[in-house]
Amino acid sequence: MAIRKDWLPGSREAILVMVKTWLIIILAKLQQWGIPESVSKNLETLATNAENAFDTAQNESTRTPVATTRCREAFDALIAEMRDMKKRYFLSPPLLDSDLVSLGLTPPDTTHTSAGEPTDQVQVETYLIGRHELGVKISYVTGSAASPANKGYRIWYSVIAPGETPPTNPDDLRKSFFTQRKKDKIEFGYGDSGKTAYFAVVIENNGKTGPWGPIVSALIP
């Protein structure tokens, strides 16, 4: 079952309960929260209209397609006003967390949760895509992509011509790019065809990196 992420209750009965709570609290906080009286009165009118339309649509003797449509329209208007009021008046000071809770809302989470430093190791595999293009595929040696510390991958590489000295460790690689994909590609220059590309990859998270994966090489088509 999907988890509701909207702050608005899922039933019309619960919406009416919420808006009645709002009206009681808002009436006592008009000046303190800077809410115009006209806004409060408009919300009260829309709430009354929605409640009356709901009662009519639920009553077997008065329930008709027209009554059902009017009920939906009344709640659409009420919900639009509630969303606007929340956005306009409830998301800025001087409301406290306790005020938001009293309105049936959830205070924002302002505590930063550190994802930690990446400690897992990944390796890169290469495959042919087209002329002057190589695909790179990331696979996990330890851990998994589900770890919150594993935000993305820094792929380092160098292009070495025949006769040049190849890199012996990842620190010798000169170019890099960051990706959050486990499959990506690199486009090389026309003059790189026939040269060898050397690769190594590390997990990266806000500048913090995990251990190096092994160096691999591939001939640039």
53 Cβ contact partners less than 8 Å away, ≥ 6 residues apart: 67, 70, 71, 73, 74, 75
Structure tokens at 72: 């939906």
pTM: 0.51
**Domain 122-219 bears CATH identifier 3.40.50.880:** no
Q: What is the pLDDT along the chain (221 residues), one digit of tens a residue?
A: 334 457 889 899 999 999 999 999 999 998 888 889 999 999 999 999 999 999 999 998 999 999 999 999 999 999 999 999 998 888 876 788 888 899 998 887 666 555 678 999 999 999 999 899 999 999 999 999 988 889 899 999 999 999 999 999 999 999 999 999 999 999 999 999 999 999 999 999 888 899 999 999 999 99
Would you kindly state where each structural domain of the chain is located, as residue ranges? 12-102, 122-219
Judge contact between 138 and 183, C-beta under 8 A. yes
Please compute, for residue 29, the number of CA atoms within 13 A of its CA located in the half-sphere on the CB side: 17
Please, is 7 exposed, middle or buried when counting C-beta atoms within 10 Å of its C-beta (0-12, 13-18, 19+)? middle
